[in-house]
Structure formats: C-alpha cells, structure tokens
Structure 1
C-alpha cells in the first residue's frame, strides 16, 4: 500500500555499515564546521570543494533515513549466494542515492553564493526574501506533491515492485538514483531551509536530519511533516524584523568589518 510505513529494521551487517558511514560522516562534518560559524556564502569554497562538503553532509544527514528501505532491499537480494555481490549491489544503490543529492548540491551552491551577495548588497531585501523562502518551504510541506513523494519514501513494497524490473550492470545504481529523485522531491524544501540558516549550521543540520528521519519512518510521519510546514510558515513571520534568525542571508556587522 502506498502509505504503508516501513517494517521494523533488522540490523544486518549492511545496515550496520550504513550507520557506521553516517556516524563517520557526522564526525567529519563536525570537524569541518569547527571554526566555521554559520554565515552566508559557500563556506569560502569553489564548486568542487563545496560539492565535496555537501556530499559529506548528505551522507551524515540522509543515510539514516535510507536504512529502512535498504533493509527491505537487502531482503530482496538475499538470493544472491555471493556476499561480495550483495556488498557491491548495496554499495551501488547507496552511491546512486548520494549522487542524486550531490547533483542537488549544484543548486545549493548557486543559492548560497547568491545569498551571500544579497546579504552584503541588500540586507533588508535579503531578510524578506529569506522569509519568503521559509514560507515557500513550509507551504510545500502541505502540498499533494510533497505528500506523494513522502508516501513513496515510506512504502518499500511499492518501491521494490517498481525496481524489480530493472536489469543490467547498473540496475542497483539506477535504483539508488530513482529513490534519490523522490527523496529530493520530498526534502528539497528542508534543504532550502538549511541554506537560509547557513550551510554549516550544525544545530539546524541535526534538527533537519531528525525531521527527515521521523517523516519517513514514524507512523505519524505524514502528520508530522505537515506540522513542520506550519511551524516554518510561523517562523517566517518573525524573520523580517529579526534578520539574524537566518545566518545564511545575514551579514553580521563583525563579518562586514
């Protein structure tokens, strides 16, 4: 059924490896963020460096929410006799998933650079635009498209039925890309929030990662998603009078100096 919640996750070796990768990515992300306070811009990096950092952040934030689907996928390929083959197929799925989010990082980079310029040249406009972006992200949480993408992410049965027809050497990579596209469709609004509050804002990163995990795995995830949307709309109302609430679009006086 489309709205069916993921079954309980069993901690197979592949899932333990996934969790280990996420924890390592969180550790490296924290190290990267040390001495780099949240602020506008792309962390002073070019596109290649930013994409590398973004891929690391997505590994930390998004891999935990992939665990239930991966658990179902591992059950679907357990007929593979070779453990090496299972590892390769699982890795290809995860790589495809992360490639989708890395591609989204190109848009994140452009938005971060534009946000920095806007914060420096037109701070008042930046606050209003930031409020509008927050409101847009909140409204999207309430739309049928968001609900459609979220239901896909929450339904392993429908997912596995669809990808069972995939064949060829790159089938598992395609599975990861396919699921990643739905995940981007589900979570792009929350990533937009991350850009407005500063790409390296660890507190917001953790909050958004937790929200994504609950949306996709909690039995009340759909209602929770709508609650997040309402909260973002309310939050947006406070931004024009308090532009510092969005460090990704706010140039603090000491930064200007």
Structure 2
C-alpha cells in the first residue's frame, strides 16, 4: 500500500503536475511520454485503492472469520493478492494511453496531450469511462463500507458477550484492555470509510456533472468548472495518502520497524 501510494505521488505530482507547471516543453511533454505518464497515474491510483480494499477484507477475515483466517491470512496469499491487484490495475488502464492526442506537432514531434474529440462521442470510450468510474471508486466505496460495517458489528457483538461474561464472573463491570482495543479498531475503521468517501465524493460528483451537463470546455483558469475539477483531483490524490497513513502509522509493528529503520538505515 505504501509503495503504490508513493507511486501515485511520483506519477501524478513529480512526473506530471510539476513538470507541466515549471518545466513546460521538456521531454516529459512529448505526447507518447505524456500519454504513458497519464496511464501510469491511473494504474497506480487504482492499484492503491484496490489494495486498500484488499487490506480491509484481510482485516474483516482476521476479525470475523476465524476458520478462514488460518488459510487466508498468510504471507503466500498476501503475495498472490498483491500481485493480482497490481497486474489488473496496469492492464485495465492501458486504454488511457490511447485516449490522448498531441496539441502541437513541431518538426514532426508531437507535443503535449489532450483528450481525443471522439472520447466524448464514441460509445466505446463512453462505456470505458463509465466502467472506469464504477470500478474506481464506486465499487471500492461499497466494499469498504460493507466490510467495515460487518467488522464493527462483529466487534460490538463480541464486546457485549465479553462484558456480560465479566459482569457475571466478577459481579461488577471493570475496565477491559481488550475491549478498549476493540473500540479503537471501530474508530479506525470508521475513519477509513469516512476519509475515503469524503475525499472521493467531489471526484464522483464532477464525473456525473460532466456526463449529464455535457459541458466539457473551460473558459479560463478562473472558470468554476475548472476549479471544481482541479479540487476533485487534489482530493482524490490526497485519498491515496491518507489510508496508508491511517492504517500503517496506527500499527505498533509498523512504528517499531520505522524506528529501527531510522536508527539502523543500512541494516
């Protein structure tokens, strides 16, 4: 998850946004390179999101499915899942490479990227665009919320049974470290769901606005539609960073390994 989130920052910010603003006309602005960069952005973004879904499912199995846990929550299965998600994330985003055309051709060299005009009229491209938005982020929306709700329900049921057992055994309700940890898990799960939904909501809203209004032109950089789009892009890129931070930094083992890395960087 950390690696794919870092790839989102590298491809979307370091190789796309910053060169376009501060180094226009560089080799990164040649149309084939620009198209490849855009395809990599979508591939790394989708991989990041679906690894978050896979991690959410892994937590669900570990907490709610004790019989399946022994078979599923293993290093071998994790490797297969990660490899599958990364491979599919790259394959399904190959069409983005062919969706752009040059803005200028100077000395037979194509420069910069713009969406092909038939992207707005072709049924094939329209279908691909809808599928892209369904696969990311609509389905992850549903899966993350659904799995987290089931996990939280299981935790609450276990807490209720544990509380009744402790009261029956000791006669009074006492503080319980295990239940405190479970409450922290509930807060963590809701934070993940809420963060994902809020940061992607504007991106999804812009997609429906664009499709139903069918107004694809911007007057200038102060056009409200342009501001709307760029704000949506900023938030959805930010989403690829927050999930790893929330999941990983809250884990004790991750903090221990990070501390060891800082203390012994060459080991």
TM-score, normalising length from structure 1?
0.38
Q: Which has the higher contact order (CA 8 A, sep 6+)?
A: 1
Superposition TM-score, scaled by structure 2 size: 0.37
Between structure 1 and structure 2, the one with the greater Rg is: 2
